[in-house]
Structure 1
Amino acid sequence: MEAASKPILTHPDFHTRNIFVDKDDPAKVTGLIDWPHAAVNPAFIAGTETPDFGELLFFDKELDQTKSQEQPDVANGVERCAKAWALLTSLCPKLDKGIKLDERLSKFFAGPHFDRIIDECALRSLLINLEDAWEKLGMPGVCPYQSSADHRKIMQSMIDERDDRHRMRRYLMRALHCDSDGWVAKEKWDPNLPVYRETYKEWVETCLKEREENETEAEARETADRLWPFDLR
């Protein structure tokens, strides 16, 4: 933990949208923007986030069905980027140690920095992860947070719902070419709106069709609205 907590100066939002490259030579970086919030933080804070170009790509059978012939080349390119990012981080010893810190520790301590501990579900899921790994992590004594079987069952239901919402958000980001908060470029608004409304309609219909036996139609609609990640209906 001490090694992963050493200070490091990092870019706050090191993703492709903030990286400019030469139009004739994409391998040549010409500039980085959005530096105002750059800060010195413990290395594990930078280590909890992977830039979008360093993440492996998961194809969607519906969204990517027309690009099946391109998928091997795209996947190969993404894999090379992920390996390049892993190599670059290994050349920065402080960052490398921050990345290698057990994620159950790094996510818990970095949570407040990224405003991730915003509700009971987020906090308690992190605490349960620590409780389960307490001995394995070499922590002394007994974890001060102790959860009951009944509470874990309730929490698992909340976590499943949170994960469903997260998957829906990622799907919509790809389907609508929008940001995680639903923002789309002005020129894409008109063509995207019908797709958005149709996707929402299909989502509600799916929730109604697959609702539990003891769940009413009104309750199923309420669940659909609760899991839908954006405000527009």
Structure 2
Amino acid sequence: MFPGILFAVFFVLNALIWGEKSSGAVPFGTMFALVCLWFGISVPLVFVGSYLGFKKPAIEDPVKTNKIPRQIPEQAWYMKPIFSILIGGILPFGAVFIELFFILTSIWLNQFYYIFGFLFIVSVILIITCAEITIVLCYFQLCSEDYHWWWRAYLTAGSSALYLFLYSIFYFFTKLEITKFVSGILYFGYMLIASYAFFVLTGTIGFSACFWFVRKIYSSVKID
């Protein structure tokens, strides 16, 4: 799914560059090589990984669970899925906000980026922030007797990508002087790719941390 969406967006953007007869367009041979790499390496590895995954024993719950789902009580307004998901993405985005400005400046304004050491520190802070905010909101959700935490954990940290894309819109209108329609489409297309990759990254971090947290707390429950 991830490489497929990225390739589709990239192909459309490259087609626009072809239409403009720009020298920056990726040649047809290179595009064909990317397709061969995708279908010849990436797709087979997905099926191999799926086969090996299904062969492994299923993950067992740390405690016995009821086979009949319990009715989830009415949730407070601040624990509604949409609100809690959007709130959860603010802190991860805030952790990379300053660094994001320098990255966009180096990409779109052709300026040098030289603070790679600080980038590593920000990356560590991003991982910790995604894990912490997802665990905290998951704990509140479980305290409210809402056990549907799987996708919400992923979307809570992943929603920071929405703020990343909104910031790219703000950056476009305040820092860049792009007037051509195709150039604007290219900018938002590439930023859409970056935001989608950021969504997958942060969502995976949030879900992994939440999965570890839930198994940890329920494995500590002693039932006689």
> TM-score, normalising length from structure 2?
0.25
Q: Which has the higher strand share?
A: 1
> TM-score, normalising length from structure 1?
0.24
Greater RCO, CA 8 A, separation 6+: 2
Q: Which has the higher helix share?
A: 2
